[in-house]
Amino acid sequence: MAEKEKESFTVTDRRLFTSEGELRKDVPEEREAPLPAKPSGERTAEQPAAVEAPTAAEQRQQADAYRKSSLDMDRQVELSGQSAKDLEITFERFLASLYMTGMLQLGLMHEQGGAPQLDIVGARQTIDSLSLLSEKTKGNLTSKEQNFLQNALYELRMAYVEVTNALAKGPQQASAVR
């Protein structure tokens, strides 16, 4: 018992914010040195993304480079006889992309000549992403965009239920139902 009374420990509060949400003034700045990047630019689980945001000058430089690259691509597209307008992303094209991704993940669409591939977790995340978009854009969409979004969500949810029910039945029961 006497040994336990002599033991002590120190508690260090490493939280950055107070209970009121204010930044604590007594917190020393701690920065870990970033791990060197792989030559290919890939990150590993041990290598977190950079903590610091790019400077305003770096962001401007990157945005300018992106615009220049996009203009070069647009010129190439125009030279091939197509319209560069076909490359522009609209909200409906964005939604269509998510819809197609969900259908691919559910194995209901596949590349020509390829086999369907099932990714239930990915499909669920895609559907949840569309749901999130629906909630966050409520009141800000045109009726055409709203209808497209609601139809895409309806179809994907129904397909998800059908696919997961078929999986739950198993291959033998599912083929007997057909």
pLDDT in tens, 45-100: 555 555 688 889 999 999 999 999 999 999 998 999 988 888 889 999 999 999 99
Domain contains 12? no
Q: How confident is the model at residue 178 (pLDDT cuts 50, 70, 90)?
A: very low
Q: How confident is the model at residue 177 (pLDDT cuts 50, 70, 90)?
A: very low
Cα–Cα distance, 53 to 138 (Å, whole number): 30
Domain contains 1? no
Give the max Cα distance, the chain. 89
Our count of domains for the chain comes to 2
Last-in-domain residue among 64, 88, 112? 88
- Say whether pLDDT at 106 is over 80: yes
Q: Do 97 and 82 share a structural domain? A: no
- Say whether pLDDT at 115 is over 60: yes
Q: Do 130 and 145 share a structural domain? A: yes
Residue-wise pLDDT tens digits, 119-155? 999 999 999 999 999 999 999 999 999 999 999 999 9
Task: Indicate the helix (H) or strand (E) that contains 95.
Answer: helix 91-105
Q: Do 80 and 94 share a structural domain? A: no
- Range of the structural domain that residue 107 is part of: 89-177
Q: pTM to 2 decimals?
A: 0.60
- Exposure string of 16-53, with b = 16+ CB inside 10 Å and e = fewer, is eeeeeeeeeeeeeeeeeeeeeeeeeeeeeeeeeeeeee
Residue 149 amino acid letter: L
Q: Do 101 and 78 share a structural domain? A: no
Contact status, residue 102 vs residue 127, Cβ threshold 8 Å: yes
Q: Do 75 and 129 share a structural domain? A: no
Cα–Cα distance, 160 to 162 (Å, whole number): 5
Give the pLDDT score at 151.
97
